[in-house]
Chain A
Amino acid sequence: MMASNRVLTASPRFVCRSCSRQARSSSSYRRSYATASSPSHDIYDVVCIGGGPAGLSLLTALRANPTTSRLRVALIEAQDLSKTASFSLPPTQFSNRCSSLTPTTAQFLNTIGAWPHMKRSRIQEFHEMQVWDGVTDARIEFDWQPGSYASQGNVIAYMAENLNITSGLLKRIKELGGVDVFDNSKVEKITFGEETEDVDLREWPVVHLQNGKSLAARLLVGADGANSPVRSFAGIESRGWDYGRHGVVATLELEGDGWGGEYRKTAYQRFLPTGPVAMLPLPGNYATLVWSTTPANAALLKKLAPKDLIALINAAFRLSPVDLAYMHTQTTGQDDELAWRTQHTHFDPEAIPQLVVGVQEGSVASFPLKFRHADTYIGERIALVGDAAHTVHPLAGQGLNQGQGDIQSLVKTIEYAVAHGQDLGTQMSLESYNSERYAANHVLMGVCDKLHKLYSVESGPLIPLRSLGLKAANALGPLKSFFMEQASGRGLRV
């Protein structure tokens, strides 16, 4: 509440209103300093900047809801969305940017009618998680205990390419109609509106596009990512730190469909001192890699010849941290090194992922990992969603799901405002969105952050303690179910 107060009073300082005020449209009254053009902004109820999963599902949900479907809404996106909409790859190729969708998220996407527009054959659900400590090998196996609340559904999460999600949402938006889409559109600036004889838009954000068009927004939604221009405009601080880690992603080809065959898939995650490495199942004998590691290691992984990269990925799930560290000092030859070291390392092959036999060409990429949390998600006529509000460590695969949780809450808030005649853009109307989502996101982000830090420690008193933690958790069925229900979004609402 303190934060929102501060923002409310602070925001006018960031834009000089008299600077942005333009000519009055009246012919009888024209100021001499006025520019020639009169302010003729297109007036919208909701303008969303950012056409990623969060922004697109916001517009889809607003259009699909009978109470909010009358709102005049617009989407502004810098990229060409027609390419996203026509997303198509052969079944032997997968995009390297994948997300795990919790059953809650999947249910939401189904409710707003987007799920049927996604390519179902490219989505892979998994029913089991194997998580272990790379230093001590303490292990926790996640699978639903018979009789637990969620065991009927049986799915922990769905792996889907981000492009499959956004393309499905775009198709649904097209089907619903009524969204003014400005793609290939760069935002030149955001200002406040002007006062004319009829209306006073001095508290309304106005988005100016490079093509000269300007949109006045009753509510401006920032779905515009971690460096959100909307957040800067609103004067909302985002605080956090960089992990000094990069996430390396790649699409992998495995020796088979997984130990459980194509109908019972497992996600694997091993905590290494440099960060967690995860292999998440895709349809058939494909999987997606998310490896959090040092920037130097990430640079090496991107440079290696395919056979050496494959060897290093296989090593990451098998060899000791000491062996792995050595292999990261090699510029080549990891292939031979793995073959030799594997003979001297004992492991249960069925407790780790099947061998990687190929890496899809051009799929290796990396991005810096950050922790960021905005001071508040709302301002007067401003709402932040998804990465614009929070950026989380990817180790729990919660980033996209948190964004979808934001959207569900924001749409519910807007619906309530519309049904009760409130101005949906005012801070007072938006309060419930902020209070509902801020605490929930904060708890989840804290847990992911602490997990990362706990498992970054290579020696010392923490090591036996954390192993004890994993072993104890593994033995306690009800506790595991609780963790899994949290992970799949069916747990207690915090």
Chain B
Amino acid sequence: MPAPTRAVANGLSRLLVPRPRPQLARLARLLPPTATSTASSIATTPSSTSRCHSTFSSVNPNEVSHFTALAAEWWEPHGSSRLLHLMNPLRHDLIRACLQESSPSASASASPGTGTGIPDASITYLDIGCGGGIFAESAARLPSTKHVTAIDPTPSVLAVAKAHARKDPSLAGKLTYQLSSVEQLPVPAEGQGYDVVTLFEVIEHVDDPAAFLDRVRPLLRPGGWLVMSTIARTWISWLTTNLIAEDILRIVPPGTHDWNKYVNEDELRGFLAGKGWDSAKVVGVVYVPGLGWREVKGSEKVGNYFFAVRRV
């Protein structure tokens, strides 16, 4: 199904959905970025301690302020992040499949204890846009994980993440949070880098996804995996994520999704083509109320999907 044009869908959403509503996040978009967020200045100031790409920032200040408003609810089991909590195990299933593919010996000689075939304390993660740390904490708990570095440009969200990580003594030493944008991270030496870089529900929040992905690649070691999840830009995703989830059922806070920024799978493939990636895999997932998230073949063309690709 061809994606609708952005202009048409925008017009339609204005007709169907009463807006603007007095939502903090929506209001924030009307104000100049410097007035609503300090994160933009953090993101654009070159760090003095590390070599940076440039002063380019992938961080959209409006997004930062929206998530500031959501920070407190991040870990509420029945709060606004419930769907993300429920989705998290599926992310691990995909990453495990990627890592097992990378080391063919893994599945044959299962390491004692875990049964996953991935050696203990062997994998390093970089979680970009970690939010309250739903994925970062869970990755750090796995026996196969050596270390997780988790970054986010929103100070209040990162404060929630850090405070929450203190509630689990087993995370100490395995999980590091940094208030940072991708641009501020030091670029690893040639041949070095993280084993897994994750971008969960992030790419639809950045302004220039293609440029953003170019900046992520050097952070991975050759053979390492970039794993993302996002939402396809289709009539159905607009209906389910914007109209139904945000505006009617309100199971997702209004203003979380900007449908215009959704990225389709073929667009993603286009961004990555010819830039040193291979072994792409895609998994479409559908949330079924009462059952949870389910893998549904072909649904990547419609709504939420995972996308994994390996740095050559």
Q: Is the CB of A198 within 8 A of B141?
A: no
Task: Tell me whether A426 and B137 are in contact in the complex, defined as CB-CB below 8 angstroms, given that A67-B114, A67-B115 are known contacts.
Answer: no
From residue 1 to 60 of chain A, which have CB atoms closer than 8 A to chain B?
Answer: 5, 8, 43
Q: Is the CB of A423 within 8 A of B140?
A: no
Q: Is the CB of B77 within 8 A of A8?
A: yes
**Does A164 make an interface contact (CB < 8 A)?**
no
**Does B191 make an interface contact (CB < 8 A)?**
no
Task: Tell me whether A422 and B89 are in contact in the complex, defined as CB-CB below 8 angstroms, given that A201-B167, A427-B77, A428-B77 are known contacts.
Answer: yes
| Number of CB contacts from chain A to chain B under 8 A | 58
**Does A203 make an interface contact (CB < 8 A)?**
yes
**Does A199 make an interface contact (CB < 8 A)?**
yes
A65 CB → nearest B CB, Å? 9
Chain B CB within 10 Å, residue with most, of A43, A69, A422, A427: A422
Task: Tell me whether A423 and B137 are in contact in the complex, defined as CB-CB below 8 angstroms, given that A198-B169, A200-B163 are known contacts.
Answer: yes
| A201–B168 CA distance with the chains assembled, in angstroms | 8
Q: Is the CB of A422 within 8 A of B113?
A: no
> A191-204 CB contact bits vs B (8 Å, 1 = yes)?
00001001111111
| A281–B166 CA distance with the chains assembled, in angstroms | 55
Q: Which residues of A sit under 8 angstroms from B24, Cβ to Cβ?
A: none
Q: Is the CB of B138 within 8 A of A420?
A: yes
Q: Bin chain A's interface residue count.
A: 20 to 34
Q: Is the CB of A422 within 8 A of B88?
A: yes
Nearest residue, chain B, Cβ from A435: B290
From residue 211 to 251 of chain A, which have CB atoms closer than 8 A to chain B?
Answer: 218
| A461–B137 CA distance with the chains assembled, in angstroms | 63
**Does B172 make an interface contact (CB < 8 A)?**
yes
> B46-80 CB contact bits vs A (8 Å, 1 = yes)?
00000000000000000000000000000001100
**Does B218 make an interface contact (CB < 8 A)?**
no
Nearest residue, chain B, Cβ from A200: B166
Q: Is the CB of A43 within 8 A of B169?
A: yes
Chain B CB within 10 Å, residue with most, of A195, A218, A419, A426: A419
Size of the chain B interface, CB-CB below 8 angstroms: 26
Q: Is the CB of A423 within 8 A of B168?
A: yes
Q: Is the CB of A203 within 8 A of B167?
A: yes
Q: Which residues of B sit under 8 angstroms from A195, Cβ to Cβ?
A: 166
Q: Is the CB of B167 within 8 A of A70?
A: no
**Does A66 make an interface contact (CB < 8 A)?**
yes
Q: Is the CB of A421 within 8 A of B137?
A: yes
Task: Tell me whether A199 and B141 are in contact in the complex, defined as CB-CB below 8 angstroms, given that A67-B115, A69-B113, A421-B92 are known contacts.
Answer: no
**Does A416 make an interface contact (CB < 8 A)?**
yes
B294 CB → nearest A CB, Å? 15
Q: Is the CB of A421 within 8 A of B166?
A: no
Nearest residue, chain A, Cβ from B172: A198
B28 CB → nearest A CB, Å? 29
Nearest residue, chain B, Cβ from A427: B77
Nearest residue, chain B, Cβ from A70: B113
| A218–B168 CA distance with the chains assembled, in angstroms | 8
A73 CB → nearest B CB, Å? 14
Q: What are 15 A-B contacts defined by CB distance under 8 Å?
A: A66-B112, A66-B115, A67-B115, A69-B113, A70-B143, A195-B166, A203-B167, A204-B167, A419-B116, A420-B92, A421-B138, A421-B145, A422-B89, A423-B137, A426-B77
- Closest 8 CB pairs between A and B? A421-B138, A420-B89, A421-B141, A200-B166, A428-B77, A420-B92, A66-B115, A421-B142
